Amino acid sequence: MKSDIHEYAIGIFDSGIGGLTVLRAVKKLLPLEHIMYLGDTARVPYGTRSAQTVLKYSIANTDFLLKQNIKLLIIACNTASAIATRALRERYSLPIVEVITPGARGAVAATRNARVGVIGTEATINSGAYQAAIHKLNPRIEVFARPCPLFVPLAEEGWYDPADEIVRLTAQRYLNELKENAIDTLVLGCTHYPLLKGAIQQIIGERVTLIDSAEETAHVVVRVLTDKDLLIKKSGGGACSFFVTDIPHRFTETGKLFLGKEIETVQLVDIL
Ligand code: DGL
């Protein structure tokens, strides 16, 4: 066991592979940090489950990561962030970064006409977490929220090319209403949606600014680690360890789309 907390890893959990978009953004800003990533692939998707179930899973994920010597936890999953952040912060003493507030902050900074769209899973949208986070920052902003559940399996399948007819038609079906709402900013409130950025931008229009929660979150992680004096002190590249709760080979195959590079080793773990 390492004794110096600076050497401890950043823990990230997601319901599956989608959180790799957050890992990628964090790694870009903090290449020296070690990262422990847990994808709960046995129980994905979280976005269609009840709040009680998502909370139970989130606690199990955090307990597992805490055993891996982590100094900060990132809840990369928007659904888990929307539902479980408060309970996890009450339960654990380590710093916890979620993805909703950073995305909301990005949207509030970007909008010029005070009309913001938010897309996410059903659980995220129904929780009202993005709406509340945006209104806390600026109550005058009108928020138009829309669940887009089919974007998750499309991204998992590797179907995100804007030229693909299925992708285009799905995006059209979900986004046309938001287009009519004359939004000028759209929050991609789900780990999987950055993969569909091209298609979403094409349908919603070039004038709408897309907010990627992953990038915004990575900046928060840098700030928290700096403020708490927890940044790793040595030089050299940090290692990434990947854990999943089911079917590691699927994680390796699809994961490279999310991460932008090959994943060499994935460990199967039982966290129940
Ligand atoms: N990770 C989830 C999210 O960001 C999407 C996939 C799921 O439904 O579990 O909301």
CA of 125 to the centre of ligand 1 (A): 12
How far apart, in Å, do the first and last CA atoms of the chain sit? 23
How far is it, in rounded angstroms, from Cα 49 to Cα 16? 14
Per the annotation, the verdict on 190 as an active-site residue is: yes
pLDDT score for 74: 98
CA of 164 to the centre of ligand 1 (A): 23
Mean pLDDT over 112-132 rounds to: 97
The CB of 124 under 6 Å from ligand 1? The reply is yes
* Distance in angstroms (rounded) separating the CA atoms of residues 47 and 155: 14
Instruction: Report all structural domains of the chain as residue ranges with CATH numbers, in order of start.
Output: 5-98+215-268 (3.40.50.1860), 101-213 (3.40.50.1860)
Structural contact between residues 237 and 31, judged by C-beta atoms closer than 8 angstroms: yes
**Percentage above 70 pLDDT, the chain:** 99
Instruction: Determine the distance separating the centroid of ligand 1 and the alpha carbon of 191, expressed in angstroms.
Output: 6
Tell how far the Cα of 80 is from the centroid of ligand 1, in angstroms: 8
| Ligand 1 atom nearest to CA at 46 | 9
Quote the pLDDT of residue 223. 97
Residue 213 has pLDDT above 90, yes or no: no
Residues 245 and 41: beta-carbon distance below 8 Å = yes
Q: Residue 56 in 3-state DSSP? A: helix
Q: Which residue in the list 20, 73, 77, 240 is annotated as catalytic?
A: 77
Q: Return all residues near 114 (Cβ < 8 A) that are at least 6 apart.
A: 138, 140, 141, 142
Question: Could you tell me the pTM of the whole model?
Answer: 0.95
Q: Give the count of beta carbons closer than 10 Å to the beta carbon of residue 238.
A: 16
Q: Which of 43, 44, 156 is the best mutation target for the ligand 1 pocket, counting ligand atoms within 8 Å of the beta carbon and taking the most?
A: 44
> What distance in angstroms lies between residue 81's CA and the mean position of ligand 1's atoms?
10
H-helix segments, the chain: 20-29, 51-66, 78-91, 100-110, 122-127, 129-137, 151-157, 165-180, 197-204, 213-227, 248-259
pLDDT surpassing 70 at residue 2: no
Cα–Cα separations (whole angstroms), residue 44 to 13, 18, 40, 47, 57: 12, 10, 6, 8, 10
User: Predicted confidence band at 3 (pLDDT cuts at 50, 70, 90)?
Assistant: low
d(Cα 114, Cα 95) in Å, to the nearest integer?
32
Check 26, 190, 208, 218 and give the catalytic one.
Answer: 190
Give the residue-averaged pLDDT of 54-78: 97
Question: What is the average pLDDT across 218-238?
Answer: 92
Q: What separation in Å is there between the alpha carbon of 44 and the centre of ligand 1? A: 8
- Whole-angstrom CA distances from 27 to 1, 163, 226 are 23, 30, 15
pLDDT(1) > 70: no
78 touches ligand 1 (CB under 6 Å):
yes
Residue (of 175, 164, 190, 172) closest to 258 by Cα position: 190
Torsion sign (Cα): 190, 194, 195, 196: positive
- Across the chain, what does the average pLDDT equal? 95
**Among 15, 85, 148, which is best to mutate for testing ligand 1, by the most ligand atoms less than 8 A from CB?**
15
Q: Is 192:125 a contact under the CB 8 Å cutoff?
A: no
Q: Ligand 1 in contact with 79 (CB < 6 A)?
A: yes
Q: Which atom of ligand 1 is nearest to the CA of 120?
A: 10
Query: What percent of the chain is predicted at pLDDT more than 90?
Result: 88
| Secondary-structure percent of the chain, ordered helix, strand, coil, rounded to 5 | 50, 20, 35
pLDDT digits (tens, 9 = 90+) for 255-271: 988 888 899 899 999 99
Q: Is ligand 1 within 6 A of the CB of residue 190?
A: yes
Q: Is 148 a catalytic residue?
A: no
